[in-house]
Amino acid sequence: MIAAQDIEETECLAWLDLFAAAPPDHAAEAGLACRRMAGAGALAYRAVPITEFNRVMAPGVGVPWSKEQFEEALAWLQRHAADGWAIQISPAAQPAAIAEWAAARGLEPAGAGWAKWRRPASMPIRPSASDLEVRSVGRDHGAAFARVVQQGFGLPETTRPWFAGLPGRDGWRTYLAFDGPEPVAAGAMFINGQCAWLGVDTTLTEARGRGAQASLIAARLADGAAVGVLGFTAETASPPAGEEASYASFRNYDKAGFSAAYVRPNYKLRRPS
């Protein structure tokens, strides 16, 4: 089973490379930035104020985060990120004093956190009963991939040139699910040695409930194992106890044989009472 540090490091590298793929003109106009700092990766996207695009990830390198690293991350987010940013610290990097440091800066754990998933490649892949056709796609499908991602997540249309550059990019494999000739769902895989991260999972509203994501997960598991990946990771929102069935992404990874490794908290600015 892949270790927590490998899970976090692979996610961190995937997101940093995804942000590095943004066209420079779009990055400058939209306030999109990324940075690798000591023991962490930082993301900012002022044009889209959601946590996924505005956060610092601390994957850990065998030792807990220092106070200096925490303060550096906080200062970077305050300069570059949109409102709603978060600091995410993995178990491998979690310092004993994090609650004290966070409280002193007006931060606290927000929501139920993120569920971090892992799965060995050796497990059998559950077949999908979807009537949609999943294909691995390259540069020639960049525009179609970008359209599905943008519409599926409800992002601004200005993000399309960014996501159009992901198919064919080194380290990445990208996928579309087709309803006849029309692409209706997307997913991506970033390979970091023997570990792979699955993400960019989205389905157009009209195609939901037809098994698109189950099929996209299965395709990525098969392709990753075929090129030597030994373990896979992903993350989803962590639902409150008893509400798991209503969280589609959580349910899809659970059914695909992933196990929830742990829940990673999101430290955010405390809301005024």
pLDDT at 171: 97
Q: What is the percent of the chain where pLDDT is above 90?
A: 79
What is the radius of gyration, based on Cα positions, of the chain? 18
Q: What is the pLDDT of residue 125?
A: 96
Residue 25 pLDDT class (50, 70, 90 cuts): very high
> Order of strands across the sheet with 231-237?
133-137, 172-179, 182-192, 195-203, 231-237, 114-120, 259-264
Q: Rounded to two decimals, what is the model's pTM? A: 0.95
Is the pLDDT assigned to residue 273 strictly greater than 70? no
Banded model confidence at residue 5, pLDDT cuts 50, 70, 90: confident
* Domain 133-229 part of CATH 3.40.630.30: yes
169 pLDDT exceeds 70?
yes
Predicted local confidence at residue 19, as pLDDT: 98
Q: Name which of 18-32, 130-144, 184-198, 237-251 the model is least confident about.
A: 237-251
Give the pLDDT confidence score for residue 112 in this predicted structure. 86
At 272, the pLDDT band (50, 70, 90 cuts) reads low
* Rounded Cα gap, residues 273 and 260, in angstroms: 33
Angle between helices 212-226 and 248-255 (to 10 degrees): 40
Average the pLDDT over 53-77 and give the result. 88
Strand partners of residue 40: 37
pLDDT value, residue 135:
97
**DSSP alpha helix (H) spans, 33-159:** 67-80, 98-104, 142-153
**Where in the sequence of the chain do the CATH 3.40.630.30 domains occur?**
133-229
For residues 213 and 237, is the Cβ–Cβ distance under 8 A?
Answer: no
Residue 220 pLDDT: 98
User: What value does the mean pLDDT take over residues 111-115?
Assistant: 89
Whether residue 189 has pLDDT greater than 90 = yes
Tens digits of residue pLDDT in 84-108:
999 998 887 888 899 999 999 999 9
**Across 116-135, average pLDDT:** 94
* Calpha distance 85→251 (Å, rounded): 26
Q: In this predicted structure, which of 16-20, 66-70, 132-136 has the lowest mean pLDDT?
A: 66-70
At residue 62, the pLDDT reads 63
How much of the chain, in percent, has pLDDT values that exceed 70?
98
**Per-residue model confidence (pLDDT) at position 206:** 96
- Cβ neighbours for 42, distance < 8 A, ≥ 6 positions apart: 33, 34, 35, 36, 55, 56, 57, 73, 76, 77, 80
- Spell out the alpha helix ranges (H) of the chain: 4-20, 24-30, 67-80, 98-104, 142-153, 160-164, 212-226, 248-255
- DSSP assigned state of 13: H
Tell me: pLDDT of 119 over 90: yes
